[in-house]
């Protein structure tokens, strides 16, 4: 218990209150819009009240002083305790749904319960949904309901010690034995061991194992198999299963990522997910009607990653913005009082673009979720035309959001100065949760190369006047222009400039790839040597999509449902994001578009003006995201803004401060200090 708990005021810091009073829009309206309507906002608040009301004092910080095992066991305990509450809330607020239970184990509120994350996350986000999405009705009935209720706990075991993003290179085998109607699974060498699946170490008793299917030693591609790992009563590993945790990591202390080796492990034939590809009793293999149907799982997960990482970025932005409204330092005018650091233009540049970026990716995610649902419905009806586009789009969003989000979180941490370096600020935990996504579900550079190759292929089709999907429609509109029109400073001009530049990049990559091959390089070597151009083309393809989607979401038909005051605020957020995107990509834009010095000066002024207009509403916008204090878990970002009392309170909680003299003093420090020269 802190010795100065009572010194934390029950009132709001006056500087923070001044920011809220001066806001130019209704925060409640923003919150309702952000959370999908007043009913959803009300439900969110009720859930948080039920989940957080009885958490002990200092709960969010206590785990920082636990051992590795204690952190894990504490998170398992909290999952079990939360399950009771979440099930009751689900039955009360939305009977028959899954948004609260088990969905509440992996949404924004979950960070309030699990400050070090938890080992059931992969089970909820992947194991359950893969069964429901790619299992037959019989498999969903057998496995899905039990998994949803956590009667069985699974993980998604794809990545291996020596292979990750390159799924075709996976070495784990599943051989069909027609005599017993079983698959026999093996990891043939150390490099084939499954590595990184969340919860695999000591939590999951099943795994969705991604393996190469062989029937009579004939390869039939990558398939997914439900493999029991541990005894349902004792939780001991089953015969042939070598399993454990991979060790401590930069973040996600409680996720319990593990390794898995399989030695002659047998499972029934019906444990292979067979909604699309099938193996009959006699060993006949029926291929999926779409060769890349398994990508649906990764598309879903990448959409989830974008949703989560944009949320993490905005949580960090909320902490840094509130702190910047409270912290006073460095007079702008000599002999004047120290201003709030948010009044420094350079500080605004650290904060406000990150808020705009988080909003942009949030809105892009909402749009892509709609596309994903349509893609799943079409796949269920035997239509798979949309799959390639969804794969490329989800890759692009995953890459951009994790890259921009992680860089943004670090900028925000730096914006808080030395205090942001404390774990009590929680920015390190937020970064640790976010940065892992840079690698999992497709390492970002590898994904950019996949997108780049798809763009070059699309460009070749465009040159041959073959039809293209809607994702590449900007090729035609851009290439119809002999040169880009005169810059007019409009938002549409910015979008067209980004699309025009984005269209030129695959053209150049295509031409250079062809030239390298003409000079004698093999296709593989030529593609490798074109990698820089491919990745840059891929990035711009994604950026033009995010900007276009942001513009449509803010100025389109949905704007009519919002008040003029809120629309004005959101239009300034859009302005900041678009202008910043242009300025950040000028090296490519200026290669293809002529901008005068006056045009560039105008862009700079627009940036400064948008930061100025953002200033009186920054705290209120962050309030509108409505992160509960338990979720932020930050002494710098609490709603009341009492930064310094909370900082001191967190220091007093350190286990080192529970006694005035440490044991090492008498044993080591005192002899050192008393030693003679």
Would you say 434 and 339 are in contact if contact means Cβ atoms under 8 Å apart?
no
Q: Which two tokens stand for residue 174?
A: 């599943």
| pLDDT surpassing 90 at residue 558 | yes
The residue behind tokens 């710098």 is 636
Last residue of a domain, one of 289, 318, 344: 289
Q: Give the CATH number of the domain where residue 575 resides.
A: 1.20.140.10
Domain membership of residue 350 (yes or no) is no
Q: Are 103 and 111 in contact (CB under 8 A)?
A: no
Q: Does residue 33 form part of some domain? A: no
Select the more confidently predicted residue: 442 or 415.
415
Cα–Cα distance, 275 to 263 (Å, whole number): 27
Catalytic residue among 19, 64, 148, 441: 441
pLDDT at 2: 45
Are residues 290 and 387 in contact, defined by beta-carbon separation less than 8 angstroms? yes
Domain count of the chain? 2
Contact (CB, 8 A) for 238 and 230: yes
CA distance 323 to 640: 11
Q: Is residue 667 part of a domain?
A: no
The range of the structural domain enclosing residue 552 comes to 466-617
Rounded to 5°, angle at Cα 301 from 80 and 280: 95
Q: Is 198 annotated as a binding residue?
A: yes
CA dist 495 and 545 (Å) reads 9
Specify whether the CB–CB gap between 335 and 369 falls below 8 A: no
Q: Is residue 138 part of a domain?
A: no
The verdict on residue 215 lying in a domain is yes
- What's residue 1's pLDDT? 41
Question: Please, which residues have CB within 8 angstroms of residue 524's CB and are 6 or more apart in sequence?
Answer: none
DSSP 3-state of 563: coil
CA-CA distance, 555 to 550, in Å (whole number)? 9
DSSP tag of 236: P
Outline where 327-386 has alpha helix (H): 345-380
Residue 299 banded pLDDT, cuts 50, 70, 90 = confident
Q: Evaluate whether residue 636 is within a structural domain.
A: no
Give me the pLDDT at residue 290, please.
65
pLDDT tens track for 212-245: 999 999 999 999 999 999 999 999 999 999 999 9
Sign of the dihedral through C-alpha 530, 531, 536, 540: positive
DSSP single-letter state for residue 140: I
Distance CA 498, CA 510 (A): 19
- For the stretch 140-161, pLDDT in tens is 999 999 999 999 999 999 999 9
Is pTM beyond 0.75 here? yes
Q: What would the pLDDT profile of 526-552 be if each residue is shown by its tens digit?
A: 999 999 999 999 999 999 999 999 999
CATH number at residue 236: 2.40.110.10
Mean pLDDT of the chain: 95
Least confident of 2-16, 145-159, 362-376, 630-644: 2-16
pLDDT at 55 over 50: yes
* Rounded Cα distance, 496 and 477, in Å: 9
Distance CA 387, CA 454 (A): 13
Q: Could you tell me if residue 527 is inside a domain?
A: yes
**pLDDT number for residue 484:** 96
**What distances in angstroms separate CA 649 from CA 326, 532, 632, one per listed residue?**
17, 50, 17
Domain boundary among 274, 289, 304: 289
Is 159 marked within a binding site? yes
User: How far is 371 from 391, CA to CA, in rounded Å?
Assistant: 11
Strands 194-195 and 258-262: antiparallel
Q: Are 574 and 550 a contacting pair, CB within 8 Å?
A: yes
Is the distance from CB of 408 to CB of 313 less than 8 angstroms?
yes
Distances (CA, A) of 604 to 412, 437, 573, 600, 621: 22, 33, 16, 6, 24
- Does residue 87 belong to any structural domain of this protein? no
Contacts of residue 218, defined as CB under 8 A and 6 or more positions apart, other chains included, come to none
Share of the chain above pLDDT 70, in %: 99
% helix, strand, coil for the chain, step of 5:
60, 10, 30
Question: What pLDDT is attached to residue 165?
Answer: 76
Residue 296 clears pLDDT 80, i.e. is over it: no
Domain termination residue (choose one: 289, 314, 338): 289
Name which of 213, 226, 212 is nearest 163 in CA terms. 212
pLDDT tens, position by position, 513-527: 999 999 999 999 999
d(CA 221, CA 156): 18
Cα–Cα separations (whole angstroms), residue 115 to 75, 427, 557, 622: 9, 11, 39, 20
pLDDT tens-digit readout, 190-214: 999 999 999 999 999 999 999 999 9
- Answer yes or no: 81 catalytic: no
């Amino acid at each position: 218990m802190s010795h100065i708990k009572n010194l934390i005021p029950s009132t709001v810091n006056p500087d923070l209150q001044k920011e809220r009073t001066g806001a130019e829009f209704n925060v409640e309206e923003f919150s309702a819009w952000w959370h999908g309507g007043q009913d959803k906002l009300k439900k969110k608040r009720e859930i948080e009240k039920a989940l957080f009301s009885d958490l002990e004092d200092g709960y969010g910080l206590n785990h920082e002083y636990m051992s590795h095992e204690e952190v894990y066991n504490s998170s398992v305990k909290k999952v079990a305790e939360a399950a009771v509450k979440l099930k009751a809330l689900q039955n009360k607020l939305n009977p028959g749904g899954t948004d609260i239970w088990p969905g509440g184990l992996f949404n924004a509120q979950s960070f309030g319960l699990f400050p070090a994350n938890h080992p059931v996350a992969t089970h909820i986000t992947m194991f359950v949904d893969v069964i429901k999405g790619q299992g037959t009705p019989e498999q969903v009935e057998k496995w899905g309901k039990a998994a949803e209720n956590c009667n069985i706990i699974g993980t998604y075991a794809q990545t291996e010690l020596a292979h990750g993003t390159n799924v075709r290179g996976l070495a784990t085998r599943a051989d069909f034995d027609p005599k017993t109607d079983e698959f026999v699974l093996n990891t043939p060498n150390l490099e084939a061991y499954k590595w990184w699946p969340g919860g695999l170490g000591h939590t999951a008793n099943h795994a969705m194992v991604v393996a190469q299917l062989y029937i009579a030693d004939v390869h039939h591609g990558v398939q997914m198999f439900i493999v029991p790992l541990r005894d349902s009563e004792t939780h001991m590993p089953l015969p042939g299963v070598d399993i454990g945790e991979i060790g401590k990591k930069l973040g996600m202390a409680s996720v319990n990522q593990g390794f898995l080796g399989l030695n002659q492990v047998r499972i029934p034939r019906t444990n292979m997910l067979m909604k699309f590809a099938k193996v009959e009793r006699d060993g006949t293999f029926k291929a999926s009607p779409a060769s890349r149907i398994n990508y649906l799982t990764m598309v879903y997960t990448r959409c989830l990653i974008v949703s989560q990482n944009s949320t993490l970025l905005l949580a960090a932005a909320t902490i840094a913005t509130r702190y910047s409204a409270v912290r006073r330092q460095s007079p702008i005018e000599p002999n004047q009082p120290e201003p709030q650091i948010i009044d420094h233009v350079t500080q605004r540049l650290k904060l406000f673009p990150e808020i705009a970026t988080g909003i942009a990716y949030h809105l892009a995610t909402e749009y892509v979720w709609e596309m994903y649902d349509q893609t799943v419905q079409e796949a269920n009806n035997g239509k798979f035309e949309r799959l390639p586009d969804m794969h490329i789009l989800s890759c692009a969003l995953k890459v951009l959001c994790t890259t921009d989000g992680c860089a943004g979180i670090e900028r925000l941490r730096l914006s808080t100065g030395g205090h942001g370096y404390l774990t009590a600020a929680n920015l390190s935990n937020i970064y640790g949760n976010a940065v892992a996504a840079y690698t999992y579900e497709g390492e970002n550079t590898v994904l950019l190369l996949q997108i780049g190759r798809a763009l070059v292929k699309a460009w070749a089709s465009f040159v041959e006047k073959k039809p293209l999907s809607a994702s590449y429609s900007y090729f035609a509109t851009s290439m119809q222009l002999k040169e880009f029109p005169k810059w007019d400073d409009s938002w549409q001009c910015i979008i067209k400039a980004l699309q025009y530049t984005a269209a030129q990049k695959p053209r150049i990559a295509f031409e250079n790839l062809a030239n390298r091959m003409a000079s004698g390089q093999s296709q593989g070597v030529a593609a490798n040597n074109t990698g820089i151009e491919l990745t840059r083309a891929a990035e711009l393809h994604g950026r033009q999509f995010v900007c276009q989607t942001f513009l449509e979401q803010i100025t389109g038909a949905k704007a009519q449902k919002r008040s003029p005051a809120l629309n004005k605020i959101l239009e300034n957020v859009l302005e900041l994001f678009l202008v910043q995107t242009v300025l950040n990509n000028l090296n490519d834009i200026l290669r293809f578009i002529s901008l005068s010095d006056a045009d560039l000066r105008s862009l700079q002024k627009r940036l400064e003006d948008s930061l100025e207009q953002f200033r009186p509403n920054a705290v209120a916008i962050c309030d509108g995201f409505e992160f509960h204090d338990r979720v932020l878990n930050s002494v710098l970002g609490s709603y009341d803004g009492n930064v310094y009392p909370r900082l001191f309170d967190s220091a007093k909680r350190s286990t080192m401060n529970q006694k005035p003299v440490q044991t090492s003093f008498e044993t080591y420090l005192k002899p050192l200090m008393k030693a003679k020269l």
